[in-house]
Amino acid sequence: MIISMKRGATRDQIDHVCERIRGFGYKVHSIEGEERVVIGAVGVGDTTSAIEQLESTPGVETVMPISQPFKTVSRQMQPYKTVIRVNGCQIGGSDFVVMAGPCSVESEEQILTTAQAVKAAGAHILRGGAFKPRTSPYDFQGMEEEGLKLLRKAKETTGLAIITEVMTDSDVDLVLEYTDIVQVGARNMQNFALLKRLGAANKPVMLKRGLSSTLKELLLSAEYITSKGNTQVMLCERGVRTFETYTRNTLDLSAVPALSELTHLPLIVDPSHGTGRRSLISPMSRAAVAAGADGLMIEVHPCPERAFSDGAQSLTLENFGEMMAGLQPYVELWKKERG
Ligand code: PEP
Ligand code: MN
């Protein structure tokens, strides 16, 4: 439930309400706005009697149950958008963030060349997989820690922040040592042990939508992380499986405005996995900006025909530069709209 305190409620009154909430067996998520304090009470309990009692507690204006099954990530709980700060970039705020790089880290030369080129084209964050979730066990599985070291080197050389995937909770500590943002891949969206572990991490997490997951399932997975204390979570629409075979997945751009109604978390769109086709990345990126996304994740490779994974959907360095230039007018409009 959400407890709105009266304007001018005293600190003692706020503390007392928090104490009562905990007494009912709920966790407290307090949001101190400029005008008033709003307190979220999350958990299971006897809501009806708790609501009645809290309504007559001094300093309380209104008490409302949260109708959604997800709580801390819901717009009801926090009407304003979460802003995640990474390397001077405000994700969910005034910056339209572009994360770009190869599907997999393959060699020093490959990652450094890509990092320099995506930086020059205006990307903010370098992506690259060191632990790769591949459909076939015979396919390239990633360079693991060697790959993380190369990402670090690329970061030191270019100043770009990095995002990379972690596949299992036992690798979380290792990946956290190197990365600025932790990626949870589509196949792991419901790996609850991993999500809980990331709930205790002190780095931002990008949670990708599962291959056939509903928005509600995506938000409940995000709730696994935020309810454990890590509120720096962004969501990524990367396409869902449908009957269509021309594209690798069907990029569900309606997820962007739909999720914006439901949650305050920043929203990233990945047209690379969402379409699986190089030629569709640019138009779908522009559409993502227009739909109100907070950023993009794009796969880029110096020589896609030699890529160890996802070559068909990877832009060349040159393609990426063109795509970024073409996106600029759309980003300008986006910025005007954000104010
Ligand atoms: C990736 O980003 O390289 C990746 C494996 O994405 P997804 O989890 O969306 O398939
Ligand atoms: Mn990929």
262 φ, ψ (degrees, to nearest 5): -90, -30
Instruction: Give SS3 for 316.
Output: coil
CB 2 within 8 A of CB 67: no
Selection from 232, 281, 266, 290 nearest residue 94 by Cα = 266
Is there a contact between 40 and 31 (Cβ–Cβ < 8 Å)?
A: yes
pLDDT number for residue 45:
64
Contact call for residues 226 and 233 (beta carbons, < 8 A): yes
103 lines ligand 1 (CB under 6 A): yes
Closest-CA residue, ligand 1 atom 4, reads 185
Structural domains of the chain, ranges and CATH numbers in brackets: 2-64 (3.30.70.1140), 84-338 (3.20.20.70)
Three-state SS for 224-269 is HHHCCCCCCEEEEECCECCCCCCCCCECCCCHHHHHHHHECCCEEE
CA angle 147, 151, 153 (to 5 degrees): 115
Give dist(CA 231, CA 48) in Å, integer: 28
With beta carbons less than 8 A apart as the criterion, state whether 317 and 117 touch.
Answer: yes
What's the pLDDT score for residue 160? 98
273: Cβ below 6 Å to ligand 1?
A: yes
Q: Whose CA is nearest to atom 9 of ligand 1?
A: 186
Any ligand 1 atom below 6 A from CB of 128: no
Distance 218 CA to ligand 2 centre (A): 20
d(CA 184, ligand 1 centre) in Å: 8
Ligand minimally distant from the alpha carbon of residue 135: 1
Ligand 1 atom closest to the CA of 239, numbered from 1: 9
Return the pLDDT at 66. 85
Which residues lie across from 235 on neighbouring strands?
207, 267
Structure tokens at 82: 């979460």
Closest Cα to atom 3 of ligand 1:
103
User: How many angstroms does the Cα of residue 103 sit away from the middle of ligand 2?
Assistant: 4
Which residue is closest in CA terms to ligand 1's atom 6?
A: 185
> Residue 254, CB half-sphere, CA atoms under 13 Å: how many?
4
Residue matched to tokens 């939508």: 209
241 lines ligand 1 (CB under 6 A): no
Residue 30: the pLDDT is 85
Contact 186 CB / ligand 1 (< 6 Å): yes
Other CB atoms within 10 A of residue 305 CB = 9
pLDDT in tens, the chain (339 residues): 999 999 999 999 999 999 999 999 998 988 887 788 999 998 876 688 899 999 999 999 999 988 888 999 999 889 899 999 999 999 999 999 999 999 999 999 999 999 999 999 999 999 999 999 999 999 999 999 999 999 999 999 999 999 999 999 999 999 999 999 999 999 999 999 999 999 999 999 999 999 999 999 999 999 999 999 999 999 999 999 999 999 999 999 999 999 999 999 999 999 999 999 999 999 999 999 999 999 999 999 999 999 999 999 999 999 999 999 999 999 999 999 987
The verdict on the CB of residue 210 being under 6 Å from ligand 1 is no
